[in-house]
Amino acid sequence: MKTKWVEEINVFQKPSRLVNWRIGLVYPNSYSVGMSGLSVKLLYHLLNQHQNIYTERIFNPKEKTVVPVSLETQTTLHRFNILAFSFQFELDYINAIKMLQLSKIPLYTKDRTNTHPLLIAGGPAVTANPRPIFNFFDFVFVGEFESVADRFLNSIYDSRETTIHDSITEIPGFYHSENYNDYVTPVVTDSLDSVKYPTAQVRPLYSEPQKKGSLDGYFLQVSRGCPHGCHYCLIGKLFRPHRERNIENLKQLIEKGSIETQSDYFSLIGSSTADYSEIGDLISYFLEKRLRFTLPSIRVDSGEEILSLIAQSGQKSLTIAPEAGAENTRYSIGKRITNSQIFSFASQANTFGISQLKTYFILGLTSDVENEVKSISELMNTLKLKNSNMKFNVSVTPLIPKKGTKLEKQKVDYASISEGTKLLKGNLNQKLNFKAFPTRWAAIQAIISLGGKELSSIMEEVAIQNGSYQSWKRVLGMEPAQYYQEKICD
């Protein structure tokens, strides 16, 4: 189907005479960001399982003043009965507010009536801390939606506009500001094998090969949650326990998925896919069927056999996340990996013909950023020295403490991290590719991830003033890093 922007396959179309309820699935970021993740594809599929309920996708338009419309029928937001927002990142809250402002939908729940759409927010950012957006949304959903998808659809189908609020209140995982408290736990799916998973996934069709990449192929989720409990990480904390899809189920999904999504390319999804208990069998199955795949990241203790299978698939690049250069820092955040494991992993990968290693680090895990910088540069410069023929990418992110994690109370000094990032760039071997997440935006993200309802009016004003860094600074009345220190940490 050719939508307004792009040609896609597996787009849902429903005759309007059959449709009683219309849901706008809003991803408040660009089409390419939304479609390179699993959440939009999965929710789009789940929310279209009822023939009388039609769900369409809405992304943030590229042009800042354009009124957002759905991809499928170019419908504006106010014409939907329900708007379901998916938030992967806190910074998308500002985009969502701008989308509502441009659509002339009152931002605050108290200002809307039942002539307006019902607004629901979900996703990891909301599951971790919904407080900053409670004033805007009728409901927040805390957890994994599959577990209640059928109940949600049946209950809205059986409701009228005047009763829908009461119906949704009954469904586990849905909260509003009056019934939410600190003891709420996310609803999670008991068994991944017993819930629906899309085999006909919506995806763009590109005729030009250079445009292929993260949007291409079939997204295969092998597991949920994580068996490791790194102290800064939301996934290991919120989405418990760690669950895996059965290997036979995965093989069926691969078989059907390759036909219905028309692709021989599979992106394996999961926080720690190389930990999947049958990973060897799974890779062997891809090789046997001559299907291509990518693993998002790999643990350095995955073992030689897995590396050899990955190399046989033709994959040339791997991603690891040491997070810190020093072993004691790594151990202190629950990441039990030694430097010698990293060295031997890189040299084995090199032997198997892997030509590129992407590495991820966090700055601000301790109060001594300078020392963190020193150990990261020592580790990476030694890795390059030992494997001079390999390409290395070094990505650095400032710590963004998340609500509910063990590092929630860590006081991050963003000014030192900003200095440390520059120092690291200078200390690293110039043949290493270096990329850093901007520290000032990390401070804003930390404010939102830990803040409360007081942020509603702040975010509203920031969105009115275009959402730039300068507008945050103006509205907060100080540098965001200072606001974080003074108002959030104390």
Residues making contact with ligand SF4 (CB under 6 A): 226, 228-230, 233, 235-236, 271-272
Question: Which CB sits closer to ligand SF4, 167 or 272?
Answer: 272
Q: Which is nearer to ligand SF4, 119 or 233 (CB)?
A: 233
DSSP three-state, residue 386: helix
Do the beta carbons of residue 65 and residue 149 sit within 8 Å? no
Residue 8: which H helix or E strand, with range? Answer: strand 8-9
Cβ proximity to ligand SF4, 69 vs 226, nearer residue: 226
Query: What minimum distance in Å lies between the beta carbon of 235 and ligand SF4?
Result: 4
- How many whole angstroms separate alpha carbon 53 and alpha carbon 84? 13
**In angstroms, rounded to a whole number, what is the distance separating the alpha carbons of residues 28 and 84?**
11
Least distance (Å) from ligand SF4 to the CB of residue 327? 16
Q: Which of 399, 460, 7 is nearest to 215 (CA)?
A: 7
Question: From the CB of 440, what's the least distance to ligand SF4, in Å?
Answer: 24
Chain-centroid distance of CA 40 in Å reads 10
Closest CA to 226 of 215, 242, 210, 203: 242
Q: Give the nearest distance from C-beta 52 to ligand SF4 in angstroms.
A: 38
- Considering the complex, state which of residue 82 and residue 298 has its C-beta at the smaller distance from ligand SF4: 298
Say how many CA atoms lie within 13 Å of 40 toward its Cβ. 24
The pair of structure tokens assigned to 405 is 């994690």
CB of 449 to ligand SF4, least distance (A): 15
- 185 contacts 240 by C-beta, under 8 angstroms: no
Closer to ligand SF4 by CB, 55 or 405: give it.
405
Least CB distance to ligand SF4 at residue 225 (A):
8
Residue 298 CB, shortest distance to ligand SF4, in Å, is 11
Name the residue nearer to ligand SF4 (CB basis): 223 or 339: 223
| Alpha helices per DSSP H over 89-163 | 92-102, 124-128, 149-157
Cβ 443 vs Cβ 414: under 8 Å: yes
- Residue with Cβ nearer ligand SF4 (97 or 337): 337
Q: Least distance to ligand SF4 from the beta carbon of 366, Å? A: 17
Q: Which is nearer to ligand SF4, 105 or 192 (CB)?
A: 192
Cα–Cα dist 71/54, whole Å: 13
Q: Which is nearer to ligand SF4, 272 or 339 (CB)?
A: 272
CB neighbours of 321 closer than 8 A, spacing ≥ 6? Answer: 297, 359, 360, 361
Smallest separation (angstroms) from ligand SF4 to the CB of 348: 20
The CA distance from 446 to 70, in Å, is 31
Residue 246 CB neighbours (<10 A): 12
Reduce the DSSP state of residue 293 to 3 states and report it: strand
Chain Cα centroid distance, residue 488? 24
